[in-house]
Structure 1
Amino acid sequence: MPAAPMIEERPGCGLGAKLFARLMRRTLRPIIARLPWTPLALRMAGLLDYAGVLIVRPRGARTVKVTALDCAAEWVYGAGVSPTTRKVILYFHGGGFVACGLRTHRRMIARISRAAGMPALSVAYRMPPNVTIATVLEDCVNAYRWLLEQGYEPEDIVVAGDSAGGYLSFAMPLHAMRAGLPRPAGIAALSPFTDLDVDRKIAHPNAPIDPYIPAPRIRDMVRLVFPGVELTDPWLSPVHADVRGLPPTLIQAGSIEVLLGDAETMARHLAAAGVPCTLQIWEGQGHVFQVFADICREGLAAIAEIGAFARQVTAAGDRQRAA
């Protein structure tokens, strides 16, 4: 039944988040606005993940390399999470489809794993300009298929991702279901990119205040990743897709980020299709603030919410099996 999404306004923005947003607006945003979008620059962006070696894992967390896929991947176990647990989070990292990876997101994913009490399979899908969006989606669907082949039940798998990975957290289940695979238990999308129409982002009230994403630069990303694609292509634009049949969804976004509009549009689209959806809007937070939780402490509370959501939707599968 069509309905309105459940929108939860999360008030409170600490000094750390305010100072971080101000710093990013004065430093990182001008750099991103001026970076050349050339093949050489994009290949350099792909090396950003190596800087992630400076990001330490939370105490008690560990990782195990996975070599069974066509792309890099690893198991991430938060502190106290058992490798024998048969519930899992399938995570796709953000980075504009061209940057970041296992290292940059390891600390946040370990925290999500601990909050959920289940391991996470972190997938470093192959990225443009070396591959097309079709290959990106293939890597993500194959990771989901591999989990099923390992004996994980679909009702025990939560798909999650941030930014570009948030896009994939919607696109992957849609393509997997089209290929005849069962739907997962739930979707958790952090500041997801969902709409290929960049003009809407440029016109959004948050465009001038986003801490580090200049909206016009998103147009370069769309041209690279989705060349020649119709902006309303239902198989590449989640906000135009037939999303009926998708599982319960949690979307988190910051109130001052330019992709808030994407999150709101996607939440309305899901609710109109009868998909249970909760949109959390966190006051004063920027894009994927959860990854900066050591500075923006509200990120820890948001991660706890993701963990609670993962436990809730997988518990529904337990009830179905017991019935």
Structure 2
Amino acid sequence: MESVIENRLGTSREARRIAFLLKCLTRPVLRYSPLTPPMLRLAGVFDWGASVVMRPSRHTRIERVRLDGFHGEWIRTEGITNPGRVILYLHGDGFFSCGLRTHRNLVAGLAARSDAVAFSVAYRQLPGAPLSTSMADALASYRWLLDQGYGADDIVIAGDSAGGFLAFTTVLSALEAGLPVPAGIVTLSPLADLDHVARKPYPHTRKDAYIPAHRLKGLKRLLLAGMDEDPSPSTRDLTGLPPVFIMVGSREALRFDAELMAARLAEAGVPHRLQIWEDQVHVFPVFAGVVPEGAQALDEIAAFVYEVTPTPRPTARAA
């Protein structure tokens, strides 16, 4: 199977401004901050700050759900006609930062455009939990949705960056456990390979507006604590995955991962599509309220959700 690769050309002034600000303000922090437990805990505070500056629309209803050792939240927006369609969302930011608040507007916008409800997961992260725990929480969230009465064919698993890693591993773990696979997978700028050496010569690694790929070596050591093998999606058998939609910026470090996964999906015969957006920053749809390309990207993702879940069941126990 050949990869379907689409290039989205053109960069707005707003997108260029965001890239400049991130390069000046965020890149130095990520580049030089030590990967120590105190610093990682400090990064987690960013999610709390987001509740002040990133408030969801008054038309958005949030319902917190306590699961086994972690929690998630239902996100419902006004006007949804198909509560049987659900997006399971796994947030990103390196397995140590961000959370439900930082991604709430992104998830709400995606759910509204997709005529779906969303379940966003606050999986456990560093420094309190290694990657194995994050993966277990993501899979438990999918199992929980199935237990609530949702059909696998009505669920799309989506994630950005580290959440993209989890989106892939959740479905791969579901396959290994004999669970039905979801209707589709959406990943935004996914981290798919923890190998810091393979990406070094890749030209876009040095052009990223703010992600310092060289920090992956230290992060990998923390993430794989207690694990015998590297569970990176790019190294695993991808046979049996549902249709996949990958979106990435043309000049970001994780374009390496996006193109690698497209090649691996093609080898496995998995239907997939890779969109490369010119000069967009890492997970640019999160800036949909500021950057016009972000809103356009959410529309593209929603079209994929409609495509793989054309006729969801009208009700489920959690709706």
What TM-score results when the alignment is normalised by the length of structure 1? Answer: 0.92
Distance, in Å, in 2 between the alignment partners of 1:290 and 1:185 is 22
8 A Cα contact 1:129 1:225, kept in partner: no
Alignment correspondent of 2:188: 190
Pairwise mapping of residues 64-83 of structure 1 onto structure 2 (< 5 A)?
64-81=63-80
The alpha carbon displacement at 1:177 in A equals 1.5
Contact persistence 1:58–1:111 (CA under 8 A): no
In the TM superposition, 1:300-315 aligns within 5 A as: 300-315=295-310
1:30 aligns with 2:25: no
- 2:302 paired with 1:268: no
Off by >6 Å, runs of 4+ in structure 1:
none
Do residues 278 (structure 1) and 273 (structure 2) align?
yes
When the two structures are aligned, how many residues end up with a matched partner? 312
Q: Quote the Cα distance in structure 1 between the aligned partners of 2:97 and 2:298.
A: 22
Cα separation, 2, equivalents of 1:85 and 1:27: 40
Map of 1:321 onto structure 2:
none
Which residue of 1 is the match for residue 159 of structure 2? 161
Q: Distance in 1 between matches of 2:154 and 2:68?
A: 20
- Give the Cα–Cα distance (whole angstroms) in 2 for the partners of residues 77 and 69 of structure 1: 23
Bigger drift between 190-199 and 18-27 goes to 18-27
Please report how far the alpha carbon of residue 309 of structure 1 lies from its aligned counterpart in structure 2 after TM superposition: 0.7
* Residue aligned with 1:201, SS: coil
1:77-96 → structure 2 map (5 Å cutoff): 77-81=76-80, 85-96=83-94
Deviations 1:122-172 (A, max 9, x none): 001011221222211111111101111111000000000000000000000
For the residue of structure 1 that corresponds to 2:30, the secondary structure is: helix
Q: Distance in 1 between matches of 2:77 and 2:115?
A: 8
Quote how far apart the aligned CAs of 1:10 are: 0.6
Structure 2 distance, partners of 1:266, 1:177, is 18
Counterparts of 1:264 and 1:52 in 2: how far apart (Å)? 31
1:8 counterpart SS class: strand
Quote the residue 1:57 is aligned against.
56
Residue identity (%): 44
Q: Does the CA-based 8 Å contact 2:76-2:111 persist in structure 1?
A: yes
Distance 1:169 1:38 in 2: 26
Unaligned runs of 5+ in 1: 319-323
Q: 1:259 to 1:31 in 2, by over 3 A?
A: same
Q: What is the aligned counterpart of 1:40 among 30, 38, 43? A: 38
CA shift, 1:224, in A, is 1.0
Give yes or no for the alignment of 1:297 onto 2:296. Answer: no
Equivalent residue in structure 2 for 1:255, among 235, 250, 254: 250
Deviates most, 114-123 or 218-227 = 218-227
Matched residue, 2:317 = none
The farther-off stretch of 269-278 and 64-73 is 64-73
Structure 2 residue aligned with 1:138 = 136
Q: Deviations over 1:224-274 (max 9, x none)?
A: 1124767xx4x7010111110000000000011100010000011011101
TM normalised by structure 2 equals: 0.94
Q: 1:59 to 1:7 in 2, by over 3 A?
A: farther
In structure 2, the residue matched to 1:177 is: 175
Alpha-carbon RMSD across the aligned residues, in angstroms, is: 1.6
